[in-house]
Amino acid sequence: MSKRPRTLDSFFSPPPSKRLRDAGIQTQQSHVTPREGNDDRLDNIQDPSSAQESVHATYPFAVPRLPPDITEVLNFAPATEGRNVDDQPDLDLVYYQPYVPKEIQHDLFEFLRRELFFYRVKYTIKRGPTEMQINTPRFTTVFGLDVTSRFDIDGSVVDATSGKPVARDAYKCKPRPMPQCLDMLRTLTENATGCLFNFALVNYYASGDDSISYHSDDEKFLGVEPAIASFTLGAKRDFLMKHKPTPVGHPSETKPMKIPLASGDMILMKGLTQSKWLHSIPKRKGGEADKGRINITFRRAMVRGGTDNYYRYNVGDGEVYKWDGTRREMGRWQKG
């Protein structure tokens, strides 16, 4: 008797007899699009209408696809035209206010907070002779793979050009593809902006105590003048920007900026913005900030070092966290 050929669903999905309590789905199918970053050759292998969940060997648990009511409205994004903010030196920013239609902003926020898995990453850095332990002041998670590789139909990582499996030690991390709920937003963002993305970084700011200090996303692995699309869902938080120090006598005069990013807003930072400007989300005590905010940033990593960097600082080696709807907080997730 000849063996039946293995399908994409058989690679990504557990046997039909295994059920996920949260989704109540007996036969699980994957809607993880096997991409390189942005290799479309395999996009039509599976039928998206039949996919119920995104699953992968690197996921601690399955991530449901977006509900039809959210998907239908999200297809009309962007809700408004982007407005160019380029009235200061070296600044190239497009502001969508909002990008996500108002009707689904709350539901999309609640869905992603409830269904994604997060981490509270700790890591050590060395500043001069001193080692410092850093506790990331927010919850993080990441999905994607740099342009040198892609995910094959069995979920494994293969060379983007040859299609051959990459060496076991090619990556220090365990890359994972974007779940459908983020991949759809990525596709819509690419279509609206003309930019290409292969990574989704997700930050959850649980309260006003969660923050991110001034920094710029100017790592070499993002290439020259990278484009980064940054979404806000949930609580409004101040987004601060300031120009990097310039030499004495520099003719350019800049002023610090404060953009109160509300739920559904998106800013596209491109051109010289990352190389010349810094940005942050400062602490904010009480008020709306304590309702929680999700920030999704789409980026495009060009080399393998970028993949390792993103997983180290957004996944790390710590415990998995999942939203506890009863306690209304992120709680440590335990298998089973």
List the CATH number of the domain containing 289.
2.60.120.590
pLDDT tier, 68 (very low <50, low <70, confident <90, very high otherwise): very high
Long-range contact pairs involving 123-126 (C-beta distance under 8 Å, separation at least 24)? 123/312, 123/313, 123/316
Question: What pTM did the predictor assign?
Answer: 0.84
Q: Determine the pLDDT at residue 247.
A: 61
On whether residue 1 sits in a domain, the answer given is: no
More confident residue, 208 or 130: 208
* 225: containing domain: 8-332
**Which sign, positive or negative, has the C-alpha torsion 263, 266, 267, 270?**
positive
pLDDT tier, 5 (very low <50, low <70, confident <90, very high otherwise): very low
By the 10 Å C-beta count (0-12 exposed, 13-18 middle, 19+ buried), 42 is classed as middle
Ranges 45-49, 186-190, 273-277, 287-291: which has the least confidence: 45-49
Q: Determine the pLDDT at residue 22.
A: 34
pLDDT at residue 29 tops 50? no
Q: Determine the pLDDT at residue 286.
A: 82
- pLDDT tens digits, residue range 219-257? 999 999 999 999 999 999 999 999 998 766 665 678 999
Domain count, the chain: 1
Ranges 29-43, 136-150, 169-183: which has the least confidence: 29-43
Half-sphere exposure at residue 124, Cβ-oriented, CA atoms within 13 angstroms: 5
By the 10 Å C-beta count (0-12 exposed, 13-18 middle, 19+ buried), 222 is classed as buried
Q: Determine the pLDDT at residue 8.
A: 33
Rounded Cα distance between 115 and 9, Å, is 21
Task: Indicate the angle between helix axes 180-193 and 102-115, nearest 10 degrees.
Answer: 140
On whether residue 322 sits in a domain, the answer given is: yes
On whether residue 153 sits in a domain, the answer given is: yes
pLDDT tier, 3 (very low <50, low <70, confident <90, very high otherwise): very low
On whether residue 3 sits in a domain, the answer given is: no
On whether residue 2 sits in a domain, the answer given is: no
Phi, psi (degrees; rounded to nearest 5) at 14: -75, 170
pLDDT at residue 30 tops 50? no
pLDDT tier, 134 (very low <50, low <70, confident <90, very high otherwise): confident
Ranges 21-30, 129-138, 151-160: which has the least confidence: 21-30
Cα distances from 88 to residues 19, 256, 273, 280, in angstroms, run 55, 10, 10, 18
Mean pLDDT of 181-210: 97
pLDDT at residue 166 tops 80? yes
Residue 304 contacts residue 198 (beta carbons within 8 Å)? no
Q: Determine the pLDDT at residue 124.
A: 80
Mean pLDDT of 20-47: 36
Q: Determine the pLDDT at residue 248.
A: 62
On whether residue 104 sits in a domain, the answer given is: yes
Ranges 9-13, 62-66, 244-248: which has the least confidence: 9-13
pLDDT at residue 47 tops 80? no
pLDDT tier, 179 (very low <50, low <70, confident <90, very high otherwise): very high
Q: Determine the pLDDT at residue 12.
A: 36
